[in-house]
Structure 1
Amino acid sequence: MEYLQSYHCLLCYLLLALRDPALCAKEITVSPAKPVVKVGDAVTLICETTCSQGKPHWMKLDESDVTQNTTKNRSYLHIAAVHPNHEGKYTCTAEKCRKQKKETIQLRVYSFPVPVLSTVPENPVSGQPFKVKCTLTNVYHGDYDTVEMLLSHLERLETEHSKNCNDDRFCDHTWSSKNQMGTSKTDYQCETNLTIGPNSFTEKARLAIHFQGDAGDDYNDTRSTAMSPEQTETQTSEPVSTEGKGQAVEASSSTTTAMVALGSTVGFLSILCFLVHLIKRSKRKSPSSGPENHPDGC
């Protein structure tokens, strides 16, 4: 008997719907039904009614930067730049509808930047241990949402996670790997995922590491062997200075030799003059050999 009553009610409802479809139709609809918007982006919520005499409008809003534009059967709610204060429930109503008079939706807001990869130390040395960090800054999401990260190098790496949030629920996430080791150029990749209900957002980053001391690293070889122009100029100027000193020494030696030779010549001439003087003097002292003294009277 109960089954017959159920089938009878269902048949009556179907007949009523065929006679007047508006009685079974949803009189107020809002789109998107589950809006999820990134911080800083714009969003427009649309409320539409099928009531012939109903005029939809969004209920009183506290945010001054939210604008509303209403036509005969539609109302547009526009937010130019979404921020966390816009998160919450929004209700649209149409007073003259016979059945449904309002519709409420939940606006979700999130912030999910691109991750940043870095190493500790900043410039890894070939053959020395280092760590890789994947950092997300200013992440915003709901309490029941999840953030996941995959740090990989040939395979997934084990990481340690740290989180720091401010009063506005913006959080910084950091994942650090265990000690790594390398001797040649290599790549690391960080893939982060944010899940908000049925929605999922993914951001990726890649880091190429060049090790100091790597024989194949041209940059390191150039940096270790290159000289500045000042250094080159200093080195080329030293032989010039040495050559000048050599010339001065050589000139000094030549002068000394010339002076010695001149001194020897002067000495020889002095001795020669002295001998000539002695000869002349001896001739003056010898007796005269004139005719008056000659025995023969010559």
Structure 2
Amino acid sequence: MEYLQSYHCLLCYLLLALRDPALCAKEITVSPANPVVKVGDAVTLICETTCTQGKPHWMILDESDVTQNTTKNRSYLHIAAVHPNHEGKYTCTAEKCRKQKKETIQLRVYSFPVPVLSTVPENPVSGQPFKVKCTLTNVYHGDYDTVEMLLSHLERLETEHSKNCNDDRFCDHTWSSKDQMGTSKTDYQCETNLTIGPNSFTEKARLAIYFQGDAGDDYNDPRSTAMSPEQMETQTSEPVSTEGKGQVEASSSTTTAMVALGSTVGFLSILCFLVRLIKRSKRKSPSSGPENHPDGC
């Protein structure tokens, strides 16, 4: 085969030397050459010809949801939402070309969603075994395509794989780990890969697991109404002595009484001093006789 290709190229160069390049040029070309389209996406196939009299045209069996627009030397085949029924070969023709009459391409369709991670049981308990599951739903691909999965937690985990397909070749894949164990928050990751010929598609998912029944987490959880013994000791008030309180109140009453008594004694002393001054003034007066009566203070 390689020798035939070499002789063909040599013949083309000889023809070009004879100034007849049209005999060696490819008269019909289509693009993209190897279309691989996801379910639900749109695609446009383009057919172009170099034939001066040839008008390109796509040969399709069902035109209900496919549109085709053709110009002088190009034809556009447009599919708005691809589904598995669109998968197959598409041929473009140009009848008036001298050498090449048609060109065919293979349209590949696939469905590859993002994986979903979950645990069994749904809420793992600290110190008790649980399993991690990585699930792909509604996967669609060809018979010779491959789907691979990597479930990891610090390192790759061993898994068991199960597959269930319907009549339309849409399949559900589930990978389950062996028993796991944990006591504090931890992460798991699932990486899935779909290979279609030279094309490869990758989707990833991550799951953070919080365990129930961890005493340390309960004490540190701000949403918890329970309190640790340390918190209770910190928030307990110091006891107050009733006896001491009575002594303080008695001392306060005594002080108040002493202040009142001092004020009364001071007032009486001032009053007595004024009375004595008045009496002395009367004794010194000439009209007044000697005072024989006692002082009175």
TM-score by length of 1: 0.71
Tell me how far apart the structure 2 counterparts of residues 188 and 3 of structure 1 sit (CA, whole Å).
54
1:55–1:72 contact (8 Å) kept in structure 2? yes
Identity %: 97
1:211–1:217 contact (8 Å) kept in structure 2? no
Tell me how far apart the structure 2 counterparts of residues 12 and 288 of structure 1 sit (CA, whole Å).
169
Aligned pairs, number: 297
Tell me, which stretches of 5 or more residues in structure 1 are unaligned? none
Q: 1:55 to 1:162 in 2, by over 3 A?
A: same
Q: 1:105 to 1:227 in 2, by over 3 A?
A: same
Aligned to 1:51, the other structure's residue is in SS state coil
Structure 1 stretch 252-261 or stretch 73-82: which is displaced more? 252-261
Deviation at 1:192, TM superposition (A): 0.1
CA RMSD, aligned part only?
11.4
Structure 1 stretch 284-293 or stretch 185-194: which is displaced more? 284-293
Deviation at 1:214, TM superposition (A): 2.2
1:54–1:97 contact (8 Å) kept in structure 2? yes
Structure 1 stretch 169-178 or stretch 238-247: which is displaced more? 238-247
Deviation at 1:61, TM superposition (A): 2.8
TM-score by length of 2: 0.71
2:83–2:109 contact (8 Å) kept in structure 1? yes
Q: 1:289 to 1:128 in 2, by over 3 A?
A: same
Aligned to 2:251, the other structure's residue is in SS state helix
Per-residue CA deviation, residues 3-33 of structure 1 (Å, 9 max, x unaligned), is 9999899468524465121110110000001
Deviation at 1:213, TM superposition (A): 1.6
Q: 1:228 to 1:54 in 2, by over 3 A?
A: farther
Aligned to 1:183, the other structure's residue is in SS state coil
More helix by share: 1
Deviation at 1:40, TM superposition (A): 0.1
Tell me, which stretches of 5 or more residues in structure 2 are unaligned? none
1:28–1:47 contact (8 Å) kept in structure 2? yes
1:34–1:106 contact (8 Å) kept in structure 2? yes
Deviation at 1:224, TM superposition (A): 5.7
Number of the residue aligned with 1:16 = 16
Q: 1:198 to 1:265 in 2, by over 3 A?
A: closer
Tell me how far apart the structure 2 counterparts of residues 4 and 22 of structure 1 sit (CA, whole Å).
20
Per-residue CA deviation, residues 193-223 of structure 1 (Å, 9 max, x unaligned), is 0000000000000000111122443599566
Tell me how far apart the structure 2 counterparts of residues 182 and 259 of structure 1 sit (CA, whole Å).
75
Deviation at 1:59, TM superposition (A): 1.2
